Amino acid sequence: MKKIAKLTVAMGLCCGIASVVLAVADQATRQARQVAEKRDKMTALAQVLPTFDPKAELEEKRFLVKDASGQEREVIFHLLRKADGVVGLAGECSTTRGYGGRIHLLAGITDEGKIRAIVVMEHRETPGLGAILLERQARKTLSDAFHAGKEAGAVKALPPCPYLDQYNGRSLDGSVQFKVQKAAAKISATTGATKTYRAATDAGQAIDAVTGATITSRAVADAIQSLADAFAAHREELR
């Protein structure tokens, strides 16, 4: 019994010390993490909003929407304001239905209520499979080599992403549901290339799935559907 008591005390002390160390480390790095998160978000906003100006007023509006299963999700809208009103709008949404868990997205929205572009801010999908359809790969050219360093600090153009770019121009008015299914173009998860084939589909917001990453494909559509639901329900509040 004495040995058990000693081991219990020793383990308790170890756990207590570890907790203190973790708390101190979290406190010491919290500010740096917050600064890094803000910097990453500002970079993402600049990528999806051509009118982005870091000196403009940035307003945040949060709304709760229910997904297909009835669970509530938070959707955040970022409104870029100047003297003449809102000059840019982006929506932030997420889903936990990815193959690796949470996928966090940011989408630029046009004045007509359509998706301008999407960037993925966080994910844990499998490298080489689900991760490929979420990551934008810059394609370097000979011209890039000559201009390297000449535009230091400038926001670079958004690199292409065959899967995410399917959403560009899609309406967020809530009139149709975003669905992932086989359609006229089949995207390879390993190369990002498309291969044309025929399959029966319905009209609306049909999105082509990525071969080998169907769960990730559906998760992104699920997140964008939440964004569409929130935008349609609160559009007048986003002006």
Domain that holds residue 124: 35-138+159-238
Query: What are the C-alpha distances in Å from 147 to residues 110, 130, 136, 139, 159?
Result: 30, 33, 21, 14, 17
Determine the Cα–Cα distance for residues 106 and 123; give it in Å rounded to an integer: 12
What is the separation, in whole angstroms, between the first and last Cα of the chain?
Answer: 70
Count of domains for the chain: 1
Q: Tell me, yes or no, whether 112 lies in a domain.
A: yes
Interval 55-86: pLDDT, tens:
788 899 999 999 888 899 999 999 998 887 88
Task: Please state, as a whole number, how many other Cβ atoms lie within 10 Å of the Cβ of residue 92.
Answer: 21
Q: Tell me, yes or no, whether 151 lies in a domain.
A: no
Q: Tell me, yes or no, whether 69 lies in a domain.
A: yes
Closest to 215 measured CA to CA, from 238, 197, 239, 189:
189
Closest to 72 measured CA to CA, from 59, 82, 80, 62:
62
Q: Quickly state the pLDDT bin for 133 (edges 50, 70, 90).
A: confident
Q: Tell me, yes or no, whether 96 lies in a domain.
A: yes
Query: How high is the pLDDT of residue 24?
Result: 60
Contacts of 155 (CB under 8 A, 6+ apart): 43, 46, 47, 52
Q: Quickly state the pLDDT bin for 123 (edges 50, 70, 90).
A: very high
Q: Tell me, yes or no, whether 24 lies in a domain.
A: no
Average pLDDT of the residues in 140-161: 55
Q: Tell me, yes or no, whether 70 lies in a domain.
A: yes
Average pLDDT of the residues in 115-129: 92
Q: Tell me, yes or no, whether 21 lies in a domain.
A: no
Interval 158-215: pLDDT, tens:
889 989 999 999 999 888 788 887 644 555 555 554 443 223 334 456 788 888 888 9
Contacts of 47 (CB under 8 A, 6+ apart): 108, 117, 119, 155, 158
CA 64 to chain CA centroid, nearest Å: 17
Average pLDDT of the residues in 122-142: 80
Average pLDDT along the chain:
78
Token pair belonging to 209: 């799935």
Of the two residues 145 and 136, the one the predictor is more confident about is: 136
Determine the Cα–Cα distance for residues 190 and 141; give it in Å rounded to an integer: 22
Query: How high is the pLDDT of residue 202?
Result: 43
**Assessment of whether the complete model's pTM goes beyond 0.75:** no
Of the two residues 129 and 237, the one the predictor is more confident about is: 237
Q: Tell me, yes or no, whether 20 lies in a domain.
A: no
Average pLDDT of the residues in 1-7: 65
